[in-house]
Amino acid sequence: MSESVYKIIEMVGSSSESWEDATQNAVKSAGMSLRDLRIAEVVTLDMKIENNQAAVYRARVKLSFKILSD
Amino acid sequence: MSESVYKIIEMVGSSSESWEDATQNAVKSAGMSLRDLRIAEVVTLDMKIENNQAAVYRARVKLSFKILSD
Amino acid sequence: MSESVYKIIEMVGSSSESWEDATQNAVKSAGMSLRDLRIAEVVTLDMKIENNQAAVYRARVKLSFKILSD
Amino acid sequence: MSESVYKIIEMVGSSSESWEDATQNAVKSAGMSLRDLRIAEVVTLDMKIENNQAAVYRARVKLSFKILSD
Amino acid sequence: MSESVYKIIEMVGSSSESWEDATQNAVKSAGMSLRDLRIAEVVTLDMKIENNQAAVYRARVKLSFKILSD
Amino acid sequence: MSESVYKIIEMVGSSSESWEDATQNAVKSAGMSLRDLRIAEVVTLDMKIENNQAAVYRARVKLSFKILSD
Amino acid sequence: MSESVYKIIEMVGSSSESWEDATQNAVKSAGMSLRDLRIAEVVTLDMKIENNQAAVYRARVKLSFKILSD
Amino acid sequence: MSESVYKIIEMVGSSSESWEDATQNAVKSAGMSLRDLRIAEVVTLDMKIENNQAAVYRARVKLSFKILSD
Amino acid sequence: MSESVYKIIEMVGSSSESWEDATQNAVKSAGMSLRDLRIAEVVTLDMKIENNQAAVYRARVKLSFKILSD
Amino acid sequence: MSESVYKIIEMVGSSSESWEDATQNAVKSAGMSLRDLRIAEVVTLDMKIENNQAAVYRARVKLSFKILSD
Amino acid sequence: MSESVYKIIEMVGSSSESWEDATQNAVKSAGMSLRDLRIAEVVTLDMKIENNQAAVYRARVKLSFKILSD
Amino acid sequence: MSESVYKIIEMVGSSSESWEDATQNAVKSAGMSLRDLRIAEVVTLDMKIENNQAAVYRARVKLSFKILSD
C-alpha cells in the first residue's frame, strides 16, 4: 500500500507574463500529462532581459511524478 | 521604547490564481486582523495538481505579528 | 476548491528505539488525530546519552495539518 | 524513560542594550517560566533604527520547552 | 573574448500588485537601462502590511549588469 | 584512469516500515542493478499519513551510478 | 504608495568591545545618517586575534536604506 | 558555574542494519565512554553498495563531549 | 518569444589534472553537443585518492540545455 | 611563501555574561595561546537555562590556527 | 586600534583558461589596486558555452577591501 | 563487513598556483599518507592578497580517512 515511488526532474520554464506562467510552461514542455504530475517545487526565480527589450520571468522548478503506484 | 516582541507562525496558503493570492489566503485563515499582521515571509512556493484537473499555487509563509507593544 | 490552508508546528520527539519511533511520539504528544495530520517533515535527527546509560533517538519535525478545508 | 517531547516556537525579542537582552525579552514575553524553558536558539540577529533616533537590537529565536516528561 | 565582467548589487523593490511588479520597480529605481541589465535573481519574497491598510509585495533581488565587454 | 563519470538522479521511495526500507524501494523502482548503483544520499525524510490510517515513511534520495568506466 | 525601494550593501565592522559595537561601527563608517538607515542584518560574527595581543569582535552585516520614498 | 566547554568532532559510522546502528558504531569507534558523550547530531545519511552485494547504511555525525566541567 | 525551456541534469566528472578538466569530462560524457549546452554550474568539488596512488579531481555539476526554442 | 596551512576545530564555550565571553572561554579551554589563534568563527549561538535558575549563553565556534608557517 | 572597517562587493569574472584566472579578472576589472584588496571569496563557479564554440569559466566572488584603517 | 568508520578533519591549504595545489598542500601538511586518505571535500575557496604583492589561492577542505577497517 505504501510502496509508491516518485521521480524528480529539474527544469527551467519562462514566460513574459508571470512566474506562475513560467512554472506552467516548464510542466507543459516536459510533456507530462496532468495525471502524472504531482507537484512543481520552486527552486529559484529570476527575471531576465532578452534582446534588450522585454522582461522574461523564469522559474527553476523540481517536478515530481509517480512512477510506481500502490 | 524598544521592548516590542513578535511571534512567528508558519502556514501554507493556496489559491488557483497566483502565489500572491495564496499568501493572502494564509493570512486570512489565520484569523489575524491587518492591525496585528506585520509581515509574511515566503519560505517556499510550489504548484500542485489536485484531482488531475487544475493547478493550485501554494505558498508556505512565516507570519509575524506584535504581541508586546512599546 | 483550492482554498485549503495548513498550519505547521515544530516539535521534538524521542525514543529509545529508533528515529521512526521518535517521530511517531512527537505526533502523538501533539494530540493530533490521524485525521488532522498531513505530514511530519524531519528537520534534524540526533542521538543523546541520558543519565550515562542509554541512547535516546530524537527527531525534530515540522508537523502540518489542515485548518481550512476546500 | 526516553519519551520526553518538546515544542518549539519562534519569536523576535528586542532591546536597546544588547542581543543577549533581546533574547531574554523574547523569553519573558512568551510568558514561560524558567522551569519550562529549555533553550533559546538564535536564528537571526539584526539592529534596527526606530524613529530616526536609536538602535534597537533584535534577536529572532526558537524557544523549546518540554511538554511531556519522562 | 571571454573577459566580460559583471557587477552584482542587491535591492528591495515593492509593489501593491505583485512580486513581478516589485522586481520591475527595483530595476527601474536602480536607474539601469535595459541595455545594462542582465538578470534579476530573487533572493527573498515577502508581503508587508503598511499603515494597517493594504498589502505590499516586496522582492529582494540581486541585479547583475555587464561592466566590461568582450 | 581517472575519467569515470557518474550521473545523479533524484527519487522519492516510501515504506510502511522504516526510512531504510523507503530508500531501498527507491533504488529498486529505478530499475538499477546493484552493479550500477554507487550511493543513495538522503536529501529529506518525512512521514505521511495516507487515507487517515497508517504512517508511511518517505525518503527523498539522490542516486548516483557510473556511466563511464576507467 | 507602495513604491519604496531599498538598496543593500555589505560591510564588516570591528570593535574590541562587543559585536553590538562592531555593528555600530560598520554603520558609522558607511557614512550613513540615522535617517537613511533602516536595518543592519548580521550575516556572520567572528573574533580575531590581531598582533598577538587582543581580541577583536567583527560583524559582517547587510545594511539596507531607502533610496526611493513613497 | 556556567563555564562548561564542549569539543565537537565529525565522524562517519556504518552498519548493514540501520542508520541508528551506524550512529552507534561511530560513537564506539571514537573510543568515547558514555560518560563523555553528550550528543551525536546527524549531518548526512546515505546508503552505499559495497562489492556489488549489500547495502551499507552510513551516518555522518558530529559528536560533542564535555572537556571542561563546571 | 519568451517560451524557451531548459532541462537540468546532475553529473560528476573526474580528471587527474584539474577541476576545470573534470567539468569538461562531465559535459563530454553526457553526449551533449556544444550547441545544446548552456551552462555547467558547480555543485561541489572534491579530490579523491584512488588505488593509493594519485589524486583525482571531481566536480559535481548541474548541466542545463535548451529543450524548447523561442 | 604562500604555503601556510591552518587547522580548524569546533568547540562550544559558555558564559553567564555574554556570547563574547562564551567565545573567549572556548578559546581558553582549547589551551591555545594567542600566538596560535587566528580566528574564531561563530557557527551558532543559543541561551540555555541550567538548573532552573540562570541563563547561560553558549557559542559554538570554529577555531582556526596555523600549523605550518611560510 | 580595532576599528578597521571593510566593504564587500560582489562580481562575476570570466576566463577561457581557469577559475583562478576568472577570479583575477574580476579583481582587475573592479579597478582595485592590490593595496586595497583583502580577499576574494568564491560564491559560485560555473562554465558557460558562448557562441557555440568555447568554454568560458566564470567565478562569482565577493571582494572585500578596507575602507577605514586602524 | 560494513563496520568501517571514518574521521573527518577540517583544514585550510594555500598555494600561489591554484586551488588544486592548495588542496594538495592541506593534505600533505596533515601528515597523512595516501593510504589513509579517502577524500578531500572542498568547503570554500578564496584568493588572498598577502603583503600587497601576490595572490594566494586557499582551499578550506574536509579530509576523511578510515580509522576502522572491515
DSSP letter string over chain J?
----EEEEEEEEEEESS-HHHHHHHHHHHTT--TTTEEEEEEEEEEEEEETTTEEEEEEEEEEEEEEE--
Neighboring chain L residues of I44 at a CB cutoff of 8 Å: 41-42
Query: In the I/L pair of chains, how many CB contacts fall below 8 A?
Result: 33
- Provide CB contacts within 8 A for E40, sequence distance 6+: A46, A47, A48, E23, E26, E27, E61, E62, E63
Average pLDDT over residues K63-70: 75
Q: Could you tell me which of J13, J24, J27 has the C-alpha nearest to residue J58?
A: J13
Q: Grid coordinates standing for D25?
A: 525579552
CA distances from J56 to D33, D40, J18, J51 (A): 16, 10, 8, 10
The CATH fold of domain A7-68: Dodecin subunit-like (3.30.1660)
Which residue of C20, C23, C47 is the best one to mutate when testing the H interface, meaning the one whose CB has the most H CBs within 10 A?
C47
CATH class of K6-68: alpha beta
pLDDT of E20? 96
The pLDDT-based confidence of D1 (bands split at 50, 70, 90) is very low
Query: What type of residue sits at position K55?
Result: A
Q: Grid coordinates standing for F57?
A: 515513511
The mean-pLDDT minimum among B29-43, D55-69, E40-54, L55-69 falls in B29-43
Give H15 to chain J, closest Cα distance, Å: 26
Neighboring chain C residues of F19 at a CB cutoff of 8 Å: 19-20
Q: How far apart are CA K59 and CA K43, in angstroms?
A: 8
Average pLDDT, rounded, for chain G = 84
pLDDT of D15? 94
Q: How far apart are CA K44 and CA A8, in angstroms?
A: 24
Which residue of K7, K12, K52, K57 is the best one to mutate when testing the E interface, meaning the one whose CB has the most E CBs within 10 A?
K12
Neighboring chain E residues of B42 at a CB cutoff of 8 Å: 44-47
CB within 8 Å: E37 and A45: no
Tell me the pLDDT tens digit for each residue of J11-43: 999 999 999 999 999 988 876 665 678 899 999
Give L33 to chain I, closest Cα distance, Å: 9
CA distances from J43 to H67, J15, J18, J28 (A): 19, 16, 16, 18
**D55 within 8 A of D48, measured Cβ to Cβ:** yes
Taking CA–CA distances from I62, the nearest residue in chain F reads F8
Query: In the B/D pair of chains, how many CB contacts fall below 8 A?
Result: 38
Tell me the pLDDT tens digit for each residue of I24-69: 999 888 765 656 788 999 999 999 976 656 689 999 999 998 886 5
Question: Residue holding cell 556504518?
Answer: H14
The pLDDT-based confidence of C58 (bands split at 50, 70, 90) is very high
> Torsion over CA of D29, D30, D32 and D36, rounded to 10 degrees?
-140
pLDDT > 90: percent of chain H: 57
Q: Which has the higher per-residue pLDDT, A36 or F56?
A: F56
pLDDT > 90: percent of chain L: 57
> Torsion over CA of H36, H42, H43 and H44, rounded to 10 degrees?
140
Tell me the pLDDT tens digit for each residue of F15-39: 999 999 999 999 888 765 656 788 9
- Considering the segment(s) G9-68 as one domain, its CATH architecture is 2-Layer Sandwich (3.30)
ipTM value > 0.90: yes
Neighboring chain K residues of G30 at a CB cutoff of 8 Å: 5, 7
Q: What is the DSSP letter of L17?
A: S
pLDDT of K35? 64
Q: What is the DSSP letter of F24?
A: H
Neighboring chain I residues of F3 at a CB cutoff of 8 Å: 14-15, 25
Q: Which has the higher per-residue pLDDT, D8 or C53?
A: D8
Interface of E with K (CB under 8 A): 1-10, 62, 64, 67-68
pLDDT of F22? 95
Give D67's Cβ-side CA count (13 Å radius).
19
Q: How far apart are CA G19 and CA D47, in angstroms?
A: 11
G in contact with C (at least 3 C-beta pairs within 8 A): no
pLDDT of J27? 87
Q: How far apart are CA D32 and CA D14, in angstroms?
A: 17
Q: If residue I67 lies in a helix (H) or strand (E), which one and from where to where? A: strand I54-68
Q: If residue L21 lies in a helix (H) or strand (E), which one and from where to where? A: helix L19-29
What CATH number should be reported for the domain whose range is D5-68?
A: 3.30.1660.10
Residue C23 has φ and ψ, to the nearest 5°, of -65, -45
Give I9 to chain A, closest Cα distance, Å: 7
Strand partners, D59: D13, D45
Q: How far apart are CA C45 and CA C13, in angstroms?
A: 10
Q: How far apart are CA D3 and CA C62, in angstroms?
A: 18
Interface of A with F (CB under 8 A): 1-10, 62, 64, 67-68
Q: Which has the higher per-residue pLDDT, I61 or K2?
A: I61
Average pLDDT over residues I11-22: 95
Neighboring chain F residues of I60 at a CB cutoff of 8 Å: 8
pLDDT of L49? 78
Q: What is the 3-state secondary structure (H, E, C) of B14-62?
A: EECCCHHHHHHHHHHHCCCCCCCEEEEEEEEEEEEEECCCEEEEEEEEE
CA distances from I55 to I46, L7, L27, L40, L45 (A): 10, 19, 11, 10, 18
Of A19-33, C19-33, D29-43, H14-28, give the range with the top mean pLDDT.
Answer: H14-28
pLDDT of L37? 81
Alpha helices in G1-70 (DSSP H): 19-29
| Per-position DSSP letters for K9-51, written without gaps between them | EEEEEEESS-HHHHHHHHHHHTT--TTTEEEEEEEEEEEEEET
